Structure 1
């Protein structure tokens, strides 16, 4: 009986590890896309969720392409800094966080200009839901590190 329980626990552990690997691979594959491809996918997801017009789609496509290119460049800079073991000073950290928040404010204004009121309300609701999920996953990730 003990051996049976031990084998069952071992199989459950192996299954859980295999599933975690697949989730991480999916995220890595998104990094391989070009900014245009990422923007196209993002625009199509928004179109499905918010029933966008063709004009709204083209405006969002431009905005997402620009944002994806900037994000990709920042990721490369971050990766280079991380590989060189260079850490940021407090002033640099403040500047990066300030820039990130400014970008979020600008993004929100652009979205408000492109979407109508009902679409914008739905988009806000989607953002809030996604933010809650991200915070939960972050806590989970921190707990696993300890």
Structure 2
């Protein structure tokens, strides 16, 4: 009887480990794919996703794509700078002032994005977009918390 219980326990542990490996690989795989895309490709994908979610008009699609292209280009430049800094300074951590400066720049960028989207979208679309952003931020926060708990 105890051998059966032990075998069942081992089977559950094995299944749990395999399930976690698949989930991690999926997240990393998508992140790697997005990292390899150009800013134009990222903007196109983002505008198409928003078109599906918010039912954008053709004019809105073009405006959203322009905003997303500027955002993706800026993000790519920032990523390149961080990669260069990691290689040059032997992974030296940023100072408190640098972290504050980066966080302020990120928040300023988010505020500007909200203002641009508010001018492009209708009130109903904007409300739905803000809810989508909230869900995305909540999902991202949960991922960070799970990563920190490992």
With the length of structure 2 as denominator, give the TM-score of the two structures.
Answer: 0.88
Change (3 A) 1:114 1:87: same
Q: Match for residue 13 of structure 1?
A: 17
Q: Match for residue 136 of structure 2?
A: 130
Q: Match for residue 24 of structure 1?
A: 28
Q: Secondary structure at the match of 1:112?
A: helix
How far is the alpha carbon of 1:131 from its aligned partner?
1.6
Q: CA contact under 8 A between 1:81 and 1:87: conserved in structure 2?
A: no
Tell me whether 1:94 sits opposite 2:71 in the alignment. Answer: no
Query: What is the rounded CA distance, in whole Å, between the counterparts of 1:8 and 1:96 in structure 2?
Result: 44
Q: Match for residue 74 of structure 2?
A: 70
Query: What is the rounded CA distance, in whole Å, between the counterparts of 1:126 and 1:11 in structure 2?
Result: 33
The answer to which of 135-144 and 54-63 deviates more is 135-144
How far is the alpha carbon of 1:4 from its aligned partner?
4.3
Query: What is the rounded CA distance, in whole Å, between the counterparts of 2:143 and 2:94 in structure 1?
Result: 25
Unpaired segments of 5 or more residues in structure 1? none
Structure 2 residue aligned with 1:43, among 25, 43, 47?
47
The answer to which of 104-113 and 87-96 deviates more is 87-96
The answer to which of 33-42 and 3-12 deviates more is 3-12
How far is the alpha carbon of 1:110 from its aligned partner?
0.3
Change (3 A) 1:91 1:57: same
How far is the alpha carbon of 1:98 from its aligned partner?
0.9
How far is the alpha carbon of 1:56 from its aligned partner?
0.6
Query: What is the rounded CA distance, in whole Å, between the counterparts of 2:38 and 2:19 in structure 1?
Result: 32
Query: What is the rounded CA distance, in whole Å, between the counterparts of 2:28 and 2:41 in structure 1?
Result: 20
